[in-house]
Amino acid sequence: MRKSIQKSVAICLLGTGMFMGTPGAVVAAGTAKPAITAADLARLPDPSTVGIRVKAGDALPKLMAHSAVLIEAKTGKVIYEREKDTRRYPASTTKIMTLIVALEHSKPDEIVTVGPRAVGAEGSSLNLAEGDKIPMKELLMGMMMRSGNDATIAVAEHVAGSMTAFAKMMNDKAQEIGATDTHFVNSHGLPDDNHYTTAHDLALITAYGFTVPGYEEIVSTDRAVFNWYNDTSKEVISENKLLWQYEGGNGGKTGYTQKAGRCVVSTAKRDGIQLVAVVLDSDFMWTDAYSMLDYGFSKVEPLPILKRGEVAGTVDVSTGAKGEIQAVAARDSVIGYEAGAKPKIEKKLDMPGSIDAPVKKGDVVGKMICYADGKVVDRVDLLATEDVAYHSWWMTIKEWWARLTKGLF
């Protein structure tokens, strides 16, 4: 077998400790107690010591980030913010957009051939060698887990032909998402005066990522074994400690350069609520990220929109042995809302008037478009509940004739 990929099933929840870029002690998961305690916060320096002026009414006054934001991913609702629209260098959190563009413009089993420009790239690396041939999905996993700058170059050149062309794709996607105060010039995030974003834009980009097939699987994988990895163990372990330290942690990306400072995008899901926390330029990035996530989960409540297997409608089947079948939701759909601000929910079927046989159970036959206060917050696939064989009118006539003549001869 060429490869073996596994996701660790052991998850630990951070209990107490200071996190100056490296989290402290962990305890067993299983409860939703806050990861950061009042005692942890008491040991932090005052934000003013690093030039931060905390505004009156700041819900998290001990946060050490120069810019930060917390959003509910589906609605985009801002739950907490500090200087969320200030331009800053994103460092390796750039790779979130690199992953999105690559997933939308390639197939997981495409083979990427590593070119000379990727070899020996500055900064963090997967130690790729010229001529290495690696499946796209594996390369993207390695890129996100080990922050391989060389991998981002190989991906960019494979997808777009050049770094310049790939950066344009990144910028086009940013505009499409609504991250209008973002500009990329490369796929890895090494410093450039024209390479910038904001905490809010980065949150929007990350939230969008969860709508892209394959994204969550990659960003939530904490370890994998690859035969092509130039290490005796062949094992790649993620730098994103949230995956095993924070209950419900399911993705994100770390980053650091001298210009950017310490940065992290941290994401977690509980009771179906997906939160995205962005911390830019903080020496206590893990403490800040976990504090924001704790705050968010204490403020929001789950609002179910659809349940997996729920019947959403029926669809006619043309030229089928059965004329109509039910369509059911492929997965749960849940949003989070703050107490006292429950949104108005609407659901609209997006399904053709009829589909052609044959149909297999589990085929996607439509979508349910979910709205909260008039804004699209989810698109859920609707699946066929049964097989329907092809059955033409001519076959029906032949069967009718056979039954008619059976008693005559």
Continuous H helices in 4-126: 38-42, 95-104
Strands 311-318 and 354-356, bridge-based pairing: parallel
Higher pLDDT, 93 or 393: 93
Residue type, 176: E
Output the six-digit token pair for 396: 């029906």
- Categorise residue 83: left if φ over 0, alpha if ψ from -120 to 50, beta otherwise: left
Contact 198, 229 (CB under 8 A): no
Residue type, 65: A
pLDDT above 50 for 120? yes
Q: How large is the average pLDDT for residues 238-252?
A: 96
Residue type, 340: G
Residue 245's nearest CA partner among 204, 189, 285 is 285
pLDDT at 404: 66
Contact 219, 206 (CB under 8 A): no
Q: Give me the count of residues in the chain.
A: 409
Q: How large is the average pLDDT for residues 33-55?
A: 93
Q: Which residues pair with 8 in a beta bridge?
A: none
Q: What is the pTM of this model?
A: 0.87
pLDDT above 80 for 23? no
Q: Which residues pair with 38 in a beta bridge?
A: none
The strand order across the sheet containing 235-237 reads 3-4, 223-226, 235-237
What's the maximum distance between 2 C-alpha atoms anywhere in the chain?
101
CA dihedral 293, 335, 238, 189 (to 10 degrees): -80
Instruction: Provide the annotated active-site residues.
Output: 92, 95, 147
Contact 115, 154 (CB under 8 A): yes
pLDDT at 184: 98
Confidence of residue 339 (pLDDT cuts 50, 70, 90): confident
The residue behind tokens 């067993």 is: 28
DSSP SS3 for 294 = helix
Rounded to whole angstroms, the Cα distance separating 170 from 186 reads 9
DSSP letter, residue 8: -
Domains of the chain: 3-300 (3.40.710.10), 307-393 (2.60.410.10)
Output the six-digit token pair for 381: 């696939």
Confidence of residue 13 (pLDDT cuts 50, 70, 90): very low
Residue 253 marked in a binding site: yes
Helix H or strand E segment including 299:
helix 285-299
142-155: buried (b, 16+ CB within 10 Å) or exposed (e) per residue? Answer: bbbbbbbbbbbbbb
Evaluate the omega torsion of the peptide bond into residue 45 and state whether it is cis, within 30 degrees of 0.
no
Helix H or strand E segment including 394:
helix 393-406
Confidence of residue 396 (pLDDT cuts 50, 70, 90): low
CA distances in angstroms from 402 to 176, 251, 327, 394, listed in the order given: 59, 61, 34, 12
Residue type, 60: L
The 10s digit of each residue's pLDDT in 94-117 is 999 999 999 999 999 999 999 999
DSSP letter, residue 388: B
Output the six-digit token pair for 71: 């959003």
